[in-house]
A = this chain, B = another copy of it.
Amino acid sequence: MTSYKTLKKIFHDAALSSDIAGILHWDMSTMMPKNSRENRAEQLAYLSKIRHQLISSKNVGKLIDLAKSEQLDTANQSNLREMEREYIISSSLPSELVEKLSSASAKCEGVWEEARKKSDFKIVAPHLEELVKLSKEESLILADRLQCSPYEALINKFEPQSKEKDIKNIFEKLEYFLVPLIDQIIEKQSNEKLISISNLMTTKQQREIGLYLMNAIGFDFSRGRLDISQHPFCGGAYQDIRITTRYNENDPFSSLEGIMHETGHAIYELNLPEQWKYQPAGQSRGMAMHESQSLLIEMQITRSKPFKKFLSHILKNKFDLKNECWDVDNIYKIGTRVNKSFIRVESDEVTYPLHIILRFNLEQKIFNDEIKINDIPELWNYEYKKLFNKEVDIDSNGCLQDVHWYAGLFGYFPTYSLGALTAAQLASQLRLDIVNLDDQVENGDFKELLQWLKSNVHSKASLYSSNEILQQVTNSNLNAKYFEDYIKNRYL
């Protein structure tokens, strides 16, 4: 057997153990009895250990070196490149550091919950300090192996081949454009009257409508499910994709839009190419590309006027919701309302990037050793004021709101906005390629849209980098101007 074939077998087994963990994670969040948490953690740690042993062994390093001199076509070269990336990330870190990071994260996340509840940063500060110290160690080791800055190394764990400098440039343009625009939009919307939809759609109706929309958009229920969890997610295993939502009768569209968001993620996974099943090149591209697929469905499609026409029609005719609050104009306005929220996850698509820019700026400073942990609340509030021209009242509405840092997830935040920009860039080409997209969406016909996404993005899996995919589809690297045009077009 060639070295490359041996590698394929090893990575196949590693993918199987990830898939098994995917089902266990889903079960943990949706079905598992509450006192099984500790044993489940042990099962998941065991699967991680198996996966780590498989892909980080010295033998894998040798096989990769040997495989480089074997005859491989372009696609298999991509697969080998992805194998090496996984090998580097997983073999570089000493196992004591991995264990320390894992236990410091678990500890810090627990304390964070209490700190957020009490809005008291001091409680969690020493734990965050320890976690940042360990994450810096991690970032230095990875930076050395990946030949990049420490912070860039962390971002690359989530979005491979992305450049800190490029992100910084893009975010600066975005900030420059959005800060004045937001006031303009809020001013414009201040005269619009909204009719409340609160408590006018039961949880049962929300679920039925959610299932109806998933089905309409092309989700294959013979290869996936919809369930309830506290934090919505898209998970599961290869060709067995499980999305979740939570229902709130006060805010029925939060579940519907959430379901559409997760459906975007799910359709990406379900359309990955079968011939690369269980291989690194057959996995979805990084978190930014993944988020672009959920945001394209949620923002570009579900919150568009044509979709609201379709939705209003089915609410009135299929689900017998006749109240005028379900009129097209009203639900469109609700879905495009802009507000300066303190809370990232409650914010709209226009202000959202500012929340991310704030976090990106602080993460850069943290990993360039420019700030002390104890200064984070003050710096957060300073940055928020600069971006939103508004004072943060309490830290639970500020630097304590998100779990990410306290769970050791540094470098993750930028991928949310990179995803939004990617979605806008792809959608601009999509609208050129499918000229009557609006008519199709209004009629609930998503076949051509889905086919476009499948052939331009989903089927490419990790055979190309995100930028290569953007180049192939739009003849351009990631560029903020598409997002700018899209936002101006929708909101001004």
Contact = CB atoms under 8 A, between A and B. Distances in A.
B237 A33 contact: no
A33 B238 contact: no
A66 interface: no
Interface in A105-152: none
Given A34-B222, A222-B33, A240-B32, A20 B39 contact: no
Contacts of A88: none
Contact of A47 (B20, B36, B222, B223): B20
A34 B23 CA distance: 15
A240 B31 CA distance: 11
A24 B40 CA distance: 13
**Majority DSSP secondary structure for residues of A touching B:** helix
One complex includes copies of this chain to the number of 2
A238 B17 contact: no
B19 A20 contact: no
Given A33-B224, A39-B237, 8 more contacts: A20-B20, A23-B27, A31-B31, A31-B225, A33-B221, A33-B222, A35-B223, A36-B240
A43 interface: yes
A46 interface: yes
A42 interface: yes
A343 interface: no
A237 B19 contact: no
Interface residues of A, number: 31
A456 interface: no
Contacts of A237: 36, 39, 43
A222 B24 contact: no
A20 B225 CA distance: 21
Interface in A28-55: 31-36, 39-40, 42-43, 46-47, 50
A339 interface: no
Nearest to A47: B20
Q: Tell which of A23, A32, A35, A221 has the most Cβ of chain B within 10 Å.
A: A23
A46 B17 contact: yes
Contacts of A35: 220, 222-223, 239
Contacts of A42: 16
A438 interface: no
A348 interface: no
A225 B39 CA distance: 16
A329 interface: no
Contacts of A257: none
A240 B50 contact: no
A46 B13 contact: yes
Contact of A39 (B46, B47, B222, B240): B240
Contacts of A47: 20
Rank and list the top 3 A-B pairs by shortest CB-CB distance, nearest first.
A36-B240, A35-B222, A16-B46
Contacts of A23: 23-24, 27, 43
A490 to B, nearest CB: 36
A463 B81 CA distance: 52
A17 to B, nearest CB: 7
Contacts of A20: 20, 24, 43, 46-47
Interface in A433-479: none
A39 B27 contact: no
Contact of A19 (B16, B19, B39, B220): B39
Contacts of A221: 33
B238 A39 contact: yes
A243 to B, nearest CB: 12
